């Protein structure tokens, strides 16, 4: 068996460009209002370098998109569909402002960003090497195969020491699933940890697993809408607060599945200590009292899958709510 990782690590100037544009909007201040946290020195330097460019059309257009509630995933997906460094694209999506790619191209030139990145190259290379060490042997595809079938896309991890500084982004391209993730946050206003800090390695595992699992599962469910509709007739035993955060059955199941998948991966591929730590953290931070029960039910699915009772997750979905109701009454950590 090969030790080669399923996850390739790389840097991408288009990601750096969109991150820099975000730095010139009110996004950094808004993210601090949501949760106070320390940022990387490069992120702070980027804001300082761009302080005189907040009126540029690319910044103003991006600010308008943010004000309209455009997801960061949409912005980063769009820039990754553009060529580099020309930033050409066949047709802009309807939600994008007219000439948006031309504005981005002009922003790149006017701000002399590429020269700035050259002076900052060492810190980007450091992040790249750290992430490379973290993902040197991570095997994910075989883990997900009993749940979601063969994964043909390349899994890519892009470390980002710019913005966003406290949010992991998932981008789905035709042949790639991409996780763009900042380094692990430290306490309070302290700068973030290195990606490969010994006690923080599972942070990057969790970021990548969460992003990939969600993209893979939602694609799987939406590709089987008829079976999903049948399964959704059986209500999941979730709280009203959970329903408010995840209104649809699909979203509820995805949230449960993703957290349980990460927990199970930690248990089987990292350590029992990391598994228990993750479950306790999710229960404390997100009120995920259902997580141990969900793990128990999915373990049962894997056992029955290996015994050929089920050939795929879709066949199991109709009984999942009932089994979860039973499990939540008897399963603790």
User: Does residue 28 register a pLDDT over 50?
Assistant: yes
For position 259, what pLDDT does the model report? 94
In contact, 38 and 191? CB cutoff 8 Å:
yes
In contact, 246 and 202? CB cutoff 8 Å:
no
Count CB-CB contacts under 10 A for residue 328.
Answer: 19
Q: How far apart are CA 113 and CA 197, in angstroms?
A: 29
Distance linking the first and last C-alpha atoms of the chain: 32
Query: Across all residues in the chain, what is the average pLDDT?
Result: 94
Q: How many CA atoms lie within 13 A of 132 on its CB side?
A: 8
For position 1, what pLDDT does the model report? 40
DSSP 54: T
Averaged pLDDT, 74-86: 98
Q: How far apart are CA 173 and CA 183, in angstroms?
A: 23
Going 254 to 256 to 259 to 265, the CA torsion angle's sign is negative
In terms of pLDDT, which residue wins out, 35 or 127?
127
For position 284, what pLDDT does the model report? 76
DSSP 192: P
| DSSP-assigned letters across all residues of 113-180 | HHHHHHHTHHHHHHHHHHHHHHTSS---HHHHHHHH----SEEEEEE-SSS-SS--EEEEETTEEEEE
Tell me the pLDDT tens digit for each residue of 313-330. Answer: 999 999 999 999 999 888
Q: How far apart are CA 64 and CA 200, in angstroms?
A: 36
Going 226 to 231 to 233 to 235, the CA torsion angle's sign is negative
In contact, 264 and 295? CB cutoff 8 Å:
yes
For position 187, what pLDDT does the model report? 83
User: Does residue 106 register a pLDDT over 60?
Assistant: yes
Rg over alpha carbons for the chain, rounded to the nearest Å, is: 21
Mark residue 99 as left, alpha or beta (left: phi above 0; alpha: psi -120 to 50; beta: remaining). Answer: left
Averaged pLDDT, 181-203: 91
The residue extents of the domains of the chain are: 7-198, 224-330
For position 188, what pLDDT does the model report? 80
Q: How many CA atoms lie within 13 A of 244 on its CB side?
A: 4
For position 175, what pLDDT does the model report? 95
Task: Please tell me the pTM assigned to this model.
Answer: 0.94
Q: How far apart are CA 225 and CA 229, in angstroms?
A: 6
For position 135, what pLDDT does the model report? 95
In contact, 274 and 304? CB cutoff 8 Å:
no
For position 282, what pLDDT does the model report? 86
User: Does residue 307 register a pLDDT over 70?
Assistant: yes
Tell me the pLDDT tens digit for each residue of 43-54. Answer: 999 999 999 999
Instruction: Decide: helix, strand or coil at residue 106.
Output: helix
Tell me the pLDDT tens digit for each residue of 133-144. Answer: 999 988 899 999
Portion of the chain with pLDDT greater than 90, in percent: 85
Q: How far apart are CA 146 and CA 144, in angstroms?
A: 6
Tell me the pLDDT tens digit for each residue of 253-284. Answer: 999 999 999 999 999 999 999 999 999 888 77
Tell me the pLDDT tens digit for each residue of 291-305. Answer: 899 999 999 999 999
Count CB-CB contacts under 10 A for residue 131.
Answer: 25
In contact, 296 and 266? CB cutoff 8 Å:
no
Q: How far apart are CA 77 and CA 116, in angstroms?
A: 24
Tell me the pLDDT tens digit for each residue of 3-21. Answer: 678 999 999 999 999 999 9
Q: Is 2 exposed, middle or buried (0-12, 13-18, 19+ CB in 10 A)?
A: exposed
């Amino acid at each position: 068996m090969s030790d080669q990782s399923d996850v390739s690590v790389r840097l991408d100037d288009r990601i750096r460009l969109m991150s820099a544009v975000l730095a010139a909007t009110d996004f950094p201040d808004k993210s601090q209002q949501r949760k106070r946290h320390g940022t990387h020195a490069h992120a702070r330097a980027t804001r300082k370098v761009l302080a005189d460019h907040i009126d540029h059309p690319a910044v103003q257009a991006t600010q308008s998109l943010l004000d309209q509630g455009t997801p960061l995933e949409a912005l980063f997906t769009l820039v990754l569909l553009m060529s580099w460094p020309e930033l050409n694209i066949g047709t802009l999506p309807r939600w994008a402002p007219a000439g948006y790619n031309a504005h981005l191209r002009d922003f790149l030139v006017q701000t002399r960003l590429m020269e700035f990145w050259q002076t900052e190259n060492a810190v980007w290379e450091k992040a790249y090497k750290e992430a490379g060490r973290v993902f040197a042997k991570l095997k994910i595809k075989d883990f997900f195969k009993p749940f979601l079938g063969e994964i043909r896309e390349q899994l890519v991890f892009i470390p980002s020491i710019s913005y966003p500084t406290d949010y992991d982004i998932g981008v789905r391209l035709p042949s790639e699933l991409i996780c763009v993730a900042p380094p692990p946050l430290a306490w309070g206003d302290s700068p973030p940890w290195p990606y490969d800090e010994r006690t923080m390695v599972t942070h990057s595992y969790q970021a990548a697993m969460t992003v990939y699992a969600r993209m893979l599962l939602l694609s799987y469910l939406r590709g089987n809408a008829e079976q999903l509709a049948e399964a959704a007739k059986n209500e999941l035993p979730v709280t009203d607060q959970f329903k408010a955060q995840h209104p649809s059955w699909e979203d509820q199941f995805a949230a449960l599945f993703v957290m349980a998948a990460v927990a199970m991966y930690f248990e089987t591929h990292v350590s029992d200590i990391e598994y228990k730590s993750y479950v306790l953290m999710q229960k404390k931070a997100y009120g995920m009292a259902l997580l141990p029960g969900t793990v128990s039910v999915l373990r049962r699915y894997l056992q029955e899958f290996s015994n050929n009772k089920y050939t795929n997750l879709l066949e199991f979905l109709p009984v999942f709510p009932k089994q979860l109701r039973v499990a939540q009454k008897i399963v603790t950590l």
